[in-house]
A = this chain, B = another copy of it.
Amino acid sequence: MGRKRVLITGAGGLIGTIVRRRLADRHEVRLLTHEPIDEPSHVADIADLDAIVPAFVGVDAVVHLAAVPDVEAAWEDVLPANIVGVRNVFEAAHRGGVGQVVFASSNHVIGMYEREAAPEIYDADDRREYDERVEPRPDSLYGVSKGFGELIGRYYADRFGLHVICLRIGSVVDRPDADVMHDLARPTDDPAELEHRRRTGAIWLSHRDCAELVARALDADEVRWAVVYGVSDNARRFWDLSAARELLGYRPQDGAPV
């Protein structure tokens, strides 16, 4: 649980901004971004291995967030950022002697289960729940790319002793947690709005819980390999949090109400 030198890739993005602010007082944080941001950063494209390797020297742990985040992204965008990029990050971590990589995977690795079970899956009394052992069924090339990241992460863990934790993150939205909670609780009779809220509330990961999940993963020094879901404790949640709780000690503070 000591202070670590932590490199955050994609530090300029939505989750990157949340995470770097939360980790700054616990760890010595270094940033890697595609473009310059408001803090000192190693600016490089993760598709370029040689350009990123120097940022991994003298680092204890990497939080790998850099990716094309669009679920509908085309292959031409997914390939360099999410396939070549994630391989380069694991390779750079290996070459730099980094001990741990926390990889932002995605629920879209198994998104086809949700797609097939919707909208009943969003019912609060629907008992279906998916854990990390279900067969991957990506709903998109984005989901395929995140599954690839898990696969190559497993390879680096098994072959090179890297500690790897994959977080299958839910929906992190660009609005303050309190605003999201407020909106979800607002009265409405609009069926479309209610339907939208049911899904939004089911898969929501608050900023606070997201930052806590990443912080817990970084503290889990004894975990050599794990895949866990990252979601707040929502009433309509359908991803199993057992592994996140047991392996990382994740305790969500937020949760969308019924």
Contacts and interface: CB of A to CB of B under 8 A. Distances in A.
Number of copies: 2
A29 B141 CA distance: 30
Interface string A163-191: 00000000000000000000000000000
A144 B152 contact: yes
A87 B159 CA distance: 26
Q: For chain A, which range describes its interface: under 10, 10 to 19, 20 to 34, or 35 or more residues? A: 20 to 34
A131 interface: no
Contacts of A91: 75
Interface in A88-145: 91, 112, 133, 135-141, 143-144
Given A75-B87, A79-B84, A87-B75, A155 B141 contact: yes
Interface of A: 75, 79, 83-84, 87, 91, 112, 133, 135-141, 143-144, 147-148, 151-152, 154-155, 158-159
